[in-house]
Amino acid sequence: MNWFERLMFRRIPLWVFALFAIFMIAGLPAYGWLVKYKVAKGPRFETIGRLALDLASVPDTLNGLRRQQELGLAPVTAPKIPDGLHRKEPLGKAEELVLVARYDSAARRFIAALTDMRNGTVLRRYAPDIKAINARSKMSSPLIDLARDRFPERYRLSHPLLMDDGGIVFQDGSPLVRIDACGKILWTLDGLYHHSIERDAEGNIWVPDTVLKSTRRNATADYHEDGIAKISPAGKLLFRQSLADILERNGLGYLFEGRPYSPDPLHLNDIEPVLHTGPYMTKGDLFLSLRHLSLLMQYRPSTGKIIWWQQGPWRMQHDINILDDRRISLFDNRVIAGDPETVDQANDLLIYDLATKNLTSPYAAAFKANNIKTVTQGRGTPLGNGDVFVEETDFGRLLRMDPQGKLRWEYISANPSGKRLLLAWSRILDNEKDAAAIAAAKAATCK
């Protein structure tokens, strides 16, 4: 018998095994307590609790890193279609510009690309220096570690907003960032900013954010206390409010406090500012989408009042758009809860009339015809001629179609083998409203 066999088959006294088993059984409840209450029980347990939570998160971290090794693959299987634009009808005269946010398999990172969907030409590519961006941050939160969670290959450049100088504003559940058209960092703003980025009538930027470390009663370390934030074009924080506080002050706290505990009870995914006053909305109002409550609401920051709200019949929706002075649209994911969550037949784009309380579904046939069924995320923008622009985020697909489902074009995000790659909230541009920003992006010369 060699040394290895002697080591492996060495006899261990039964009392040693029993003592070890007792220690493990007794230690598990204490370990679980540390993980659950490391922040809720105060700073005395902060350090050791964080170590316990980090240890418990190792499997998830390893799994996330494994998926990152797979080059930003979308979380679904889909038909293998070549990457890029697939035009379905002849070119038009006017540019069809989309600020595409996607994973670039060649660069092994997320980028934004100002793309003309007439022919797939990229007019401006944005690939900011993520290491330099992260190096500017001084924030600390149990919810994120930038070095671990937002390294360059993993940073998801989300919902880029084209600015008048041709640069963009973006985030990844992390500090908000503005760069110029050549990628120079103009400013960063510490915070856990996430999901949509939109401008109001004064040019200020509204973004959902999350409190770095929630102090709400009974909140665990991983609790997401979402809020709304307004930031100036120069990167100054002008306004911030907790969404939970807004609901409570308006007598609606029961919508989430009376439900089983969740570390992410609201999941604010869109803030849409009202740009013009009309009979059913006032300039400065905000339309908000709360996915985990299937809730839409109209909030007036100037008074602190919720003007209108409704839960369903939409399910876990995204992307509100203000169509005119009385109508809004929303991307209805039509999710069926479960493990995993699934989509009921297809997503949909609904139109809600604040005056008549009427809800219509003019694109239902089109969504079904093109099998659009992203479980999470998703974007839908009605266009002036009756068409609709859609991002099917989970399937790495952008498309423009008419109400019957006829495709004008389709854009696929895929790697060379045809596997779909993640999108990150692309944005279709308006040739008139965005004219100055488009011109600046095209004209910029970079050294």
DSSP string, 153-207: TT---EEEEE-TTS-EEEESSEEEEEE-TT--EEEEEEEEE-S--EE-TTS-EEE
- Selected residue with higher pLDDT from 45 and 417: 417
The number of residues in the chain equals 447
At 54 the pLDDT is 55
- Selected residue with higher pLDDT from 206 and 68: 206
Using the predicted structure, report yes or no on whether residue 1 has a pLDDT greater than 80.
Answer: no
Using the predicted structure, report yes or no on whether residue 7 has a pLDDT greater than 80.
Answer: no
Kindly tell me the sign of the dihedral angle through the C-alpha atoms of 169, 263, 222, 44: positive
Ranges for all domains in the chain classified under CATH 2.120.10.30:
78-443
Q: Is 276 exposed, middle or buried (0-12, 13-18, 19+ CB in 10 A)?
A: exposed
- Selected residue with higher pLDDT from 71 and 132: 132
Q: What is the mean pLDDT of residues 168-190?
A: 98
Could you give the residue ranges of the DSSP H alpha helices within 196-283? 243-249, 254-257
At 340 the pLDDT is 93
pLDDT tens digits for range 9-59: 555 565 555 666 676 666 655 555 555 544 444 444 555 555 555 555 555
The Cα 379–Cα 72 span in angstroms is 19
| HSE-CB for 266 with a 13 A CA cutoff | 28
Six-digit token string for 166: 């041709």
At 93 the pLDDT is 85
Confidence of residue 8 (pLDDT cuts 50, 70, 90): very low
Kindly tell me the sign of the dihedral angle through the C-alpha atoms of 195, 198, 204, 206: negative
> Residues 6 or more apart from 225 whose CB is under 8 A from it?
210, 211, 214, 216, 219, 242, 243, 244
Using the predicted structure, report yes or no on whether residue 79 has a pLDDT greater than 80.
Answer: yes
At 100 the pLDDT is 98
**Rg of the chain in Å (alpha carbons):** 24
Q: Which residue, 135, 142, 304, is CA-closest to 220?
A: 142
- Rounded to the nearest 10°, the torsion over CA 310, 312, 314, 317 is 60
At 28 the pLDDT is 56
The answer to whether the CB of 48 falls within 8 A of the CB of 34 is: yes
pLDDT tens digits for range 99-151: 999 999 999 999 999 999 999 999 999 999 999 999 999 999 999 999 999 99
Beta bridge partners of 161: 169
Q: Which class would CATH give 78-443?
A: mainly beta
Six-digit token string for 157: 């450049």
Q: What is the mean pLDDT of residues 221-249?
A: 97
Q: What is the mean pLDDT of residues 380-404?
A: 97
Q: What is the mean pLDDT of residues 332-352?
A: 97
Q: Is 161 exposed, middle or buried (0-12, 13-18, 19+ CB in 10 A)?
A: buried
CB atoms within 10 A of CB 222: 16
Q: What is the mean pLDDT of residues 53-69?
A: 50
Could you give the residue ranges of the DSSP H alpha helices within 57-187? 58-69, 130-135, 146-149
Q: pTM score, two decimals?
A: 0.86
